[in-house]
Amino acid sequence: MQREIITYPNKRLFISSKRVENFDKDLHKLLDDMYETMIKGCGVGLASIQVNVPLRVFLANIPDENEEQKKEDLFEIINPELKILDDEKIVFNEGCLSIPGFFEDVERYKNVRLEYQDRFGKHKILETSDFLAVVIQHEFDHLNGHLFIEKLSYTKRKAFEKEFKKQQKEKRQRSLGEEAKKSKS
């Protein structure tokens, strides 16, 4: 079942999520729903707080070399501990399903190591680089109530706020327009 994604500036996005204690069918349902929601939203990652469930759970699913996003490449990450492996950094153009329509370059670490649990509570280790490492850092931030726009420079952040206000205004006008249409018919 597809779930609703909460969007900026919803205050829930800024809370710190809690560890998963029960690896039960409710968790499996959440993971399955998150996968469906992420794919329908054309995302490469999704944290459970984005569907309004404050648990330390996220998905990462990057496309392969043929640009295909395969389910066999899906990582279901629960209760992760993130370790940065060295000082090397990379820049990727990031977006977020909770901040629709806004993309900006963000600098992050290139190489990371993740200790986490899978949907059955089994402990796992993942060492990775580049795009998957970036997605992991972006999603990991969600667990602690952080969004990628917090990493932008002052000028870029201001540009975002301006763009965001503009979008909100357009949305309001569109819905007012639809209301007007409805009342006419």
Active site residues: 139
Q: Which is nearer to Zn ion, 23 or 167 (CB)?
A: 167
Contact residues for Zn ion (CB under 5 A)? 96
Q: Which amino acid is at 13?
A: L
> Do the Cβ atoms of 108 and 141 come closer than 8 Å?
no
Q: Which is nearer to Zn ion, 27 or 96 (CB)?
A: 96
Minimum Å gap between C-beta 123 and Zn ion is: 25
**Which distant-in-sequence residues (6+ apart) come within 8 Å of 120 by Cβ?**
23
Number of neighbouring beta carbons within 10 Å of residue 167: 14
Q: Where are the beta strands (DSSP E) in the chain?
A: 45-47, 57-60, 75-84, 89-94, 104-109, 111-117, 123-129
Q: Which is nearer to Zn ion, 50 or 117 (CB)?
A: 50
CA angle 141, 144, 146 (to 5 degrees): 55
Minimum Å gap between C-beta 93 and Zn ion is: 13
Q: Which is nearer to Zn ion, 103 or 120 (CB)?
A: 103
**Bridge-based pairing state of the strands 111-117 and 45-47:** unpaired
Minimum Å gap between C-beta 22 and Zn ion is: 25
Cα-based distances in Å from 109 to 90, 105, 124: 6, 13, 21
What is d(CA 8, CA 96) in angstroms, rounded to the nearest whole number? 10
Residue nearest to Zn ion (CB): 96
> Do the Cβ atoms of 50 and 139 come closer than 8 Å?
no
